[in-house]
């Protein structure tokens, strides 16, 4: 999502699902692309987007296409919704994507280094 590639996000969700019965992976990935494109169009500013709504749409899309959501992913989504509420009170103009990039980049490097 940070890279702006919703199709890849959809593919990763399919690849990491322990069990899915998705009959049309291409349609699921295309749906995720549309969802990510829509979210990134608002620059992910708290004042113009609801992370909870984006996640609700992602869960709905997964349900429609019978893609099982991993429990770790669901837990992260709940945490994001809580943080969204706190962030909205502190600074509604915060660009979530730009704020998250350094943290995500560091985590990716540690993961690739096996740490």
The predicted pLDDT at position 44 comes to 61
pLDDT tens per residue across span 2-58: 678 999 999 999 998 887 899 999 999 999 999 998 887 766 666 677 778 888 899
The predicted pLDDT at position 53 comes to 83
CA dihedral over 43, 47, 48, 50, signed as positive or negative: positive
CA dihedral over 93, 102, 80, 89, signed as positive or negative: negative
Calculate the alpha carbon distances from 42 to 20, 48, 97 in Å: 31, 6, 11
pTM exceeds cut of 0.75? no
pLDDT tens per residue across span 61-112: 999 999 998 888 888 888 888 888 888 889 888 777 677 778 878 888 888 8
DSSP 30: H
Give the CB-side neighbour count of residue 100, counting CA atoms within 13 A.
15
Q: Which two tokens stand for residue 93?
A: 């103009």
């Amino acid at each position: 999502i940070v890279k702006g590639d919703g199709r890849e996000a959809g593919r990763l969700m399919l690849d990491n699902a322990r069990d899915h019965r998705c009959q049309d992976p291409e349609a699921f990935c295309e749906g995720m692309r549309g969802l990510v494109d829509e979210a990134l169009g608002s620059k992910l500013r708290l004042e113009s987007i609801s992370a909870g709504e984006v996640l609700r749409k992602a869960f709905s899309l997964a349900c429609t296409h019978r893609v099982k959501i991993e429990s770790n992913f669901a837990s992260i989504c709940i945490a994001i919704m809580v943080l969204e509420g706190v962030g909205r009170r502190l600074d509604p103009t915060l660009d979530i994507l730009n704020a998250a990039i350094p943290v995500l980049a560091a985590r990716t490097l540690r993961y690739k280094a096996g740490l």
